A and B are shown apart, each in its own frame.
Chain A
Amino acid sequence: MVSAVLDSGYRDRKRRAAMLWMASGLAVAAVLLSLAVGPTGLSFNALPRALAAAFGATDDPEALRERLVLVDIRLARTLLGGFVGAALAVAGATMQAMFRNPLADPGLIGVSSGAAFAAVATIALGQGVLGFWTQWFGIFALPLAAFLGGLVTTLCLVALASRNGQLTVGVLLLAGVAIAALAGSGSGVIAYISDDRQLRDLTLWQMGSLSGASWQKVTAVVPFAALLVILTSRLARPLNGLLLGESEAFHLGIDVERAKRLAIAATAIAVGASVAVAGVIGFVGLVVPHLVRLIAGPDNRIVLPLSAILGASLVLVADVVSRMAVRPAELPIGIVMAIIGAPIFLHLLLRRGGGVS
């Protein structure tokens, strides 16, 4: 068991490579689908003219429109959707490994609830008490507040669960539940004092949407994507050790405290940035890593990258549904994801009895 998880032979490596290639193929298909399908009905045949417009070679209004749809709207949306899906799935996989619980969800360490509280406060109080914040950051007041809210909540949680520089996972879990409840009640209070329009705004925000995608947001998430790739590549081995238990991991020579903190940092950044740009999208973090472990086993060296690729694909497909289902209006992607995710999850649960491997 130990050798199987911590080291793998030639056959395993070949199998892993094959799985990664297949998943990548799927992701490429999802990206192409997301670029080709939209309510305007424009597709790749408009691509040459759109590209010409993008590089300033033409100012034909029709070409400008094609550029707007294909490059500014769909490409930005696809990149952002891919990031959000990958980040949420990796965060879920990380949390499930750290808590050694297949039901662990990135929300457990308080990022989502903290982010939601900050976002709800910005929506409801942005024209009143928090007017200065809206004035300073304009269109970015909400995403920035959500990101900071998530991060601050996680830092509080880490401080609460630390004893003599040691992070107790059990305390972390329970304190996380308590803090989520606290943030939830804060959101409730704000929802109560907000007016009809704000109420509707905040309900919609909590259902998630990639509709606000723009190149500015894409640029804003690039550093986080880079950071996540670095963090997760260092996390795979320590997380494998943690699967066996903390003391076992320690005796295997793994710096357990470091691993736990890295895992929390990665999750906070991934979820914080995702929630900031797309609102709350559930089920990706829960379902995708689960699915991946079913296919590929518990080794995090394959679970993490595979989760990222499949998470991105799933969000992109869900986003295509979200923009096409009720066009020209849009169905919030959180709803689509729950409709797709909940049955898959139930199926897994009933078939496998909910085990890790």
Chain B
Amino acid sequence: MIETSMTRRFSAYTQAALLLFCAMFICGSQSATAQDAGATKTVPLPIVSIGGDVTEIIYALGKADAIVAVDTTSVYPPDALKTKKNVGYMRALSTEGVLSTGGMTIVASDRAGPPEVVAALKGASITFHEIKENNSPEGIAEKIKTVGQLVGKSEEADAMAARVSAAFSRLATVRASVAKKKKVLFVLAVQDGRVTVGGRNTSADAILALAGAENAAAGVDGFKPVTDEQLVEFAPEAVVVMKRPGLKSDPVEDTRNLQGLGASPAVAGKAVFGMDGQYVLGFGPRAADAATALLVAIYPDLAPLVKAEKP
């Protein structure tokens, strides 16, 4: 290709533009240093609670009155979205929207976003606390303690964290007596005969591991739709289906009728059951109970053992 003077001029324009843009952005990113508020004192009220687990913990600690607004992932308890202001989806917050709720403190999961809005809120004259996402038993206990300190319920929070930890260690004892791990399929949703399952690197995989089960869909990465043929290949021994309130059709029935599961041990052994989605995947104060319930559903013969372990 012959390069004309025009091509050169064109690329000169774009190069200049590019350089300017880069320079601007680098200058900008240097001045935008995120500050981490790690204070342990009680925070000014009311609170804007962002993240389903954060809201659930504050409610469980009996400080629902301290909350003025929540985000759309705060689905439990259902009361939260009904009685509090709704600042929208936690990854699409609006700076002025959050400020307009009159909240003095923001307690947010570290998943909140977009980053520009979070940076602006951190720079605002209200307190901003980030709660680290961690789905391990220790992480959940830590989350409860941190939130408890913030809302001035340290003692209650410590007690709750201890209860959760104890429940997790009871669960670990029961889990140790699982002789042979069952292959369990986690069904997030069934839509028109198309099924979305929870593969590895998901909260579904984490809860299955806690319940002492082997993820039948471990070959899949993330929550993905799979084909009927793939379902045959999975051949799960049990299937857990996510339910949510207000669903018109019964996802458990839909799953049972999936062609690919027709010949599976799960359907033959009537081991297809439903559980509430937020309960199982919430990873809040109820996580240990949810994992235990899941374990009992998968291994019904271990139910007496779970009962015996109860304090």
* Bound Cα distance A8, B99 (Å): 52
With A139-B116, A329-B87 as contacts: A220 and B97 at CB distance below 8 Å:
no
A265 lies within 8 A of B10 (CB)? yes
Mark contacts of A264-295 with chain B using CB atoms, 8 A cut-off: 1 yes-contact digit, 0 otherwise.
11001100010000000000000000000000
- Per DSSP, chain A at the interface is helix
Is B232 close to A, CB under 8 A?
no
What's the least CB distance linking B138 to chain A, in Å? 22
A84 to B240 alpha-carbon distance, docked (Å): 48
Distance in Å from the Cβ of B306 to the closest Cβ of chain A?
31
Contact with B along A70-84 (1 / 0, CB 8 A): 001110000000000
- Which residues from chain B contact A216 at a C-beta distance below 8 Å? 24, 27-28, 31-32
* In the complex with contacts A140-B25, A329-B86, A40-B116 CB distance below 8 A: no
Asked if A144 is at the interface of the complex by the 8 Å CB criterion, the answer is: yes
Residue-wise, chain B 121-138 has the 8 Å CB interface mask toward A (1 for contact) of 001110000000000000
User: Inside 8 A of B202's CB, which chain A residues have their CB?
Assistant: 195
Write the nearest CB–CB distance from B268 to chain A, whole angstroms. 31
B222 within 8 A of A: yes
Q: Is B172 an interface residue (CB 8 A)?
A: no
Q: Is there contact, CB below 8 Å, between A220 and B6?
A: no
Per-residue interface assignment for chain A, residues 45 to 82, with 1 indicating a CB less than 8 Å from any chain B CB and 0 otherwise: 00000000000000001001100110011100000000
Residues of A208-254 whose CB lies within 8 A of B:
209, 211-214, 216-217, 219-220, 223-224, 227, 231
Q: Is B152 an interface residue (CB 8 A)?
A: no
Q: How far is the CB of B26 from chain A (nearest CB, A)?
A: 8
Query: Within the assembled complex, what's the spacing in Å between the Cα atoms of A220 and B92?
Result: 22
Q: Is the CB of B22 within 8 A of A144?
A: yes
| Distance A227 CA – B14 CA, assembled complex (angstroms) | 10
A200 at the binding interface (Cβ < 8 Å): yes
Partner among A38, A162, A268 whose Cβ is within 8 Å of the Cβ of B96: A38
CB nearest neighbor in A for B17? A269
Could you tell me if A201 and B24 are in contact, using CB atoms closer than 8 angstroms?
no
Interface residues on A, range: 35 or more
Determine whether the beta carbon of B223 is less than 8 Å from that of A138: no
Residues of chain B from 79 to 130 with CB closer than 8 A to chain A in the complex: 85-89, 91-101, 111, 113-117, 119-120, 123-125
> Could you tell me if B125 and A329 are in contact, using CB atoms closer than 8 angstroms?
no
Is B308 in contact with chain A by the CB < 8 A criterion? no
A94-112: CB near B (< 8 Å → 1, else 0) gives 0000000000000000000
Question: Which of A14-22, A151-159, A307-315, A349-357 lies on the face that meets chain B?
Answer: A151-159
Contact call A151/B1, Cβ cutoff below 8 A: no
Q: Does residue B7 face the partner (Cβ distance < 8 Å to A)? A: yes
Q: B117 touching A68 by the CB < 8 A rule?
A: no
**Which of the residues B1, B6, B97 comes within 8 Å of A323, measured between beta carbons?**
B97
Q: Which of B21, B92, B95, B123 contacts A273 (CB 8 A)?
A: B21
Instruction: Tell which of B9, B28, B72, B114 has the most Cβ of chain A within 10 Å.
Output: B28
Known: A68-B125, A323-B94. A40 touches B88 (CB 8 A): no
**Given known contacts A39-B100, A329-B88, A151 and B113 CB-to-CB distance under 8 angstroms:** no
Interface size class of B (residues with CB under 8 A): 35 or more
B7 proximity list for chain A (CB < 8 A): 162, 165, 261
Q: What's the nearest-Cβ distance from chain B to residue A124, in Å?
A: 10
Contact A327 B124 (CB under 8 A): no
Q: A61-B125, A137-B25, A140-B29 are in contact. Are A39 and B94 (CB under 8 A)?
A: yes
A194: Cβ under 8 A from any B Cβ: yes
In contact, B120 and A72 (Cβ under 8 angstroms)? yes
- Does B309 reach chain A (CB closer than 8 Å)? no
Contact call A197/B111, Cβ cutoff below 8 A: yes
**B100–A41 contact, CB under 8 A?**
yes
Known: A64-B125, A328-B87, A330-B97. A209 touches B25 (CB 8 A): no
Residues of B within 8 A of A223 (CB): 17, 20-21, 24
Contact B14 A155 (CB under 8 A): yes
B18 close to chain A: CB less than 8 A:
yes
Contact A138/B85 with A68-B124, A195-B202 known, Cβ cut-off 8 Å: no
CA distance A147 to B10 in the complex (A): 17
Closest chain-B Cβ to A211's Cβ sits at a distance in Å of 5
Q: Is the CB of A139 within 8 A of B32?
A: yes
Which residues on the A side are within 8 Å of B22 (C-beta)?
144
Contacts of B120 in A (CB 8 A): 68, 72-73, 214
Point out the residues of chain B lying under 8 angstroms from A211, CB to CB. 92-95, 114, 116-117
A interface footprint on B19-49 (CB within 8 Å = 1, 0 otherwise): 0111011111101100000000000000000
A contact residues around B98 at 8 Å (CB): 328
* Interface presence of B179 (CB below 8 A): no
| CB-based contact B21/A73 at 8 Å | no
Report if A326 contacts B (CB, 8 A): yes
Residues of A contacting B91 in the complex (Cβ-Cβ under 8 angstroms)? 197, 200-201, 204
Return the CB mask of B177-202 against A: 1 if under 8 Å, else 0: 00000000000000000000000011
**5 further interface pairs, Cβ-Cβ under 8 Å (given A40-B99, A193-B222):** A148-B18, A269-B14, A327-B97, A328-B101, A329-B86
User: What are 9 contact pairs spanning A and B, CB under 8 A?
Assistant: A139-B119, A197-B111, A204-B92, A216-B24, A220-B21, A220-B28, A269-B14, A328-B97, A330-B97
* Chain A to chain B: the 3 pairs with minimum beta-carbon distance, closest first: A329-B88, A212-B116, A216-B28
